[in-house]
Chain A
C-alpha cells in the first residue's frame, strides 16, 4: 500500500499532463489546470517543512552544544529578523525588511557570486593544459572568445597597422561571435538533445513505475 499509492498518484498525474498536452478537449485542460494548481499549493506549503527543519536542527545543536554550535544562533537570529520584520511591517519599499534585504542580503549574495572570478582564475591556472591537440584547440578558442567578448580584443587588433581600415575592423569580436554561433551552438544542441532524451526516458520509467528509487523504497 505504502508503495502502490504513490506509484498510482505518479502514474495518474503523469498521464494527465501528457494527455492534456495532446488533447485540447475537456476534461483534460481542466484536469491539467487542477494538477498544476495542486503543484503550486504543495510547493508553497513545502516551504514550511524546510523552515521547521532548519529551526529544529539548529536549536538541537545549541541545546546539546554539538560541534560548531556557536554558528547556530547566528542562523536563527538571521532567519527570525527577516521573518518578523517581513510579517510585521510588510516587504514593500521603505520597510525594515526592504532595508535588510537591500543592505545585507543583496551585497552578501553578490559577494558569494563574485568569488567565482577568483575561483575561475585558480581553476584555469591549475587545469587548463594544452596536453593534446583537442585541449590546444579548446584553449585557442577560449582565448579568442575571452578577447572577443570584451572591448580590449578589438582594441588590440586595431593596433595592428591597417587593421582599423580593413574590411574587418572588429575581427576579434566577429570571430568570437562566430565561435559562439556555429561550433558552440552545435555542441550545445547535441548536449541538449541527449539530456532531453535522458529526461524523457527517466520520466517514462517513473510514470510507468519502472523507476522507484525516488520513493525511497525498494521494489
Chain B
C-alpha cells in the first residue's frame, strides 16, 4: 500500500519540480547596509535569488537622487546577488530600488531599502591577525631586552655561515675572486635584504684578505645598496683603496639573461668561492651546477622551498629558510639581534601549540561540541580578509 502510494506521488513531485524550475527567478530578501571595514562612502546591497533556472537578463540598482528621482548606479548580471555603491557621503541616508529585467522590460521592482555609510576604525575581520602580530612582536621585543641586559642567548651552529671564512680564505690562497650572487629579486624582498647583510660580512672578509669580490646584480636598486654595503665594509676594514665599484655591476632584469650572464662570469673568472644567497627561482640549478663545474666551494641560502633541493644537491653548504634570516644575528653575535632570533623561536613554539590545539579540536569536534567551538575560534583568529 505504502509503495503504491509513494509511486503515485512520484509524477506529482516531478511536476512540481518542473513547475518550480520553470518559474522565473527573482530577487528576494533585499537589504542595504553600510559596507563594512572600509573608509566609508559605500553602501552594500545584498539579496538572494529565488529557486529556479530561468534567470533574469539583468538586475539594475537605482539610487534616490537629492531631487527625489531614481538614478541608475549599477547593472549586474542576472545571476548576481549583490552590489556595492561607492562614492557616497558619510552620515547621509541613501535609498535604493532594485529592478529585475526580462526581454527588455522591467519584470519586478524591489525596495525601497536604505542605509547610511560610515567609516570604521578597526577592520573587524583582521583582529586575529592583529593579535598574532602583537604576540609575535611581544616575544621578539622581550627577548631583545633580555639580550640588551646581557643575558646569555644560545644559538646553534649553522654550518654554512661558519664556512664563510674558510671559503674566502680558500679564494685568497688560490688567487681567484669571490663571486657573490644576491638573488634575482628586488630590495622589497626580505631575502634580498638578508643577503645584503651577509654581503657586508663577506665584503669585510675579502677586504681583510685582499681577494677580489664580484657582485653581479639583477635589479637597479639592489645595485645601489650593494655598492654602499661593500664600500662601507671596505672602509670599516681600513681598505678603502681596495674597493672597486666596477666589480659590483648590473647585468639584466631578465631571469635567464641574468643566469646566462652569471654563468659566463663563473666560466671566465673561475671564482674559488661562490655565494648564492637570496631569492632564486628556476635558474638556481643552472647557477649551482655551473659553479660546481668550475670547482668552486659553494655556499647557498634561500627561503624558496622549491629551490632548496637543487641547492642541497649541488652546493657544499645550504642555509635553509630561516637560517638565511638568522645570518645577521649569527655573524655579528650582537645581543639585540640574537634576542630577536630567540623571540622568533619562542613565538614559533606558541604557534605550534595553537596548531596542535586546533587540529585536536577540529578532529574531536564531531564527538564533543565544545571542541567545535574551540576549532571555530582558532579558525576565526587565523583568517585574513
Contact = CB atoms under 8 A, between A and B. Distances in A.
Same complex: yes
Given A113-B256, A214-B225, A128 B123 contact: no
A208 B328 CA distance: 16
Contacts of B303: 191, 195, 198-199
A197 B196 contact: no
Contacts of B196: 213-214
B228 A216 contact: yes
A116 B286 contact: yes
B268 interface: yes
B259 A43 contact: no
Contact of A23 (B123, B129, B282, B286): B123
A57 B249 contact: yes
Interface stretch (A44-52, A83-91, A153-161, A167-175): A44-52
Given A50-B223, A112-B286, A116-B286, A213 B322 contact: no
A127 B123 contact: no
Interface in B328-385: 328, 336-337, 340-341, 343-344, 347-348, 351
The size bracket of the interface on B is 35 or more
Contact of A201 (B140, B188, B268, B313): B140
B39 A25 contact: yes
A187 B222 CA distance: 31
Interface stretch (A92-100, A118-126, A143-151): A118-126
A217 interface: yes
Interface string B17-56: 0000000000000000000011110000000000000000
Contacts of B268: 67-68
A112 B340 CA distance: 41
B120 A25 contact: yes
A113 B224 contact: no
Contacts of A51: 220, 250
A49 B223 contact: yes
Contact of A49 (B194, B221, B256, B310): B221
Contacts of B228: 215-217
Contact of B314 (A39, A127, A197, A199): A127
Contact of A210 (B225, B340, B351): B340
A53 B343 CA distance: 41
A67 B246 CA distance: 13
Interface in B223-250: 223-225, 228-229, 231-232, 236, 246, 249-250
B213 interface: no
A77 interface: no
A166 interface: no
A23 B12 CA distance: 57
B249 A53 contact: yes
B273 interface: no
Given A53-B249, A203-B190, A116 B340 contact: no
Interface string B122-144: 11001001100100110010001
Interface string A21-60: 1111110110000000001001100111111011001001
Contacts of B77: none
A43 B186 contact: yes
B305 interface: yes
B257 interface: yes
Contacts of B111: none
Contact of B121 (A25, A112, A128, A192): A25
B351 A193 contact: yes
Given A197-B322, A202-B190, A214-B225, A47 B220 contact: yes
Contacts of A49: 220-221, 223-224, 250
A218 B256 contact: no
Given A123-B310, A215-B228, A22 B140 contact: no
B286 A115 contact: yes
Given A109-B254, A198-B303, A53 B223 contact: yes
A126 B122 CA distance: 56
A15 interface: no
B264 interface: yes
B120 A24 contact: yes
A199 B254 contact: no
Given A115-B286, A120-B285, A201 B236 contact: no
B372 to A, nearest CB: 23
A213 B229 CA distance: 8
Contacts of B231: 216
Given A43-B186, A211-B197, A201 B344 contact: yes
Contact of B122 (A23, A112, A201): A23
Nearest to A55: B250
A213 B200 contact: yes
B57 interface: no
Contact of B340 (A23, A43, A128, A205): A205
A178 interface: no
A216 B204 CA distance: 12
B313 A128 contact: yes
5 contacts: A24-B121, A54-B252, A57-B246, A112-B286, A205-B140
Closest 4 CB pairs of A and B: A216-B228, A50-B220, A112-B256, A198-B325
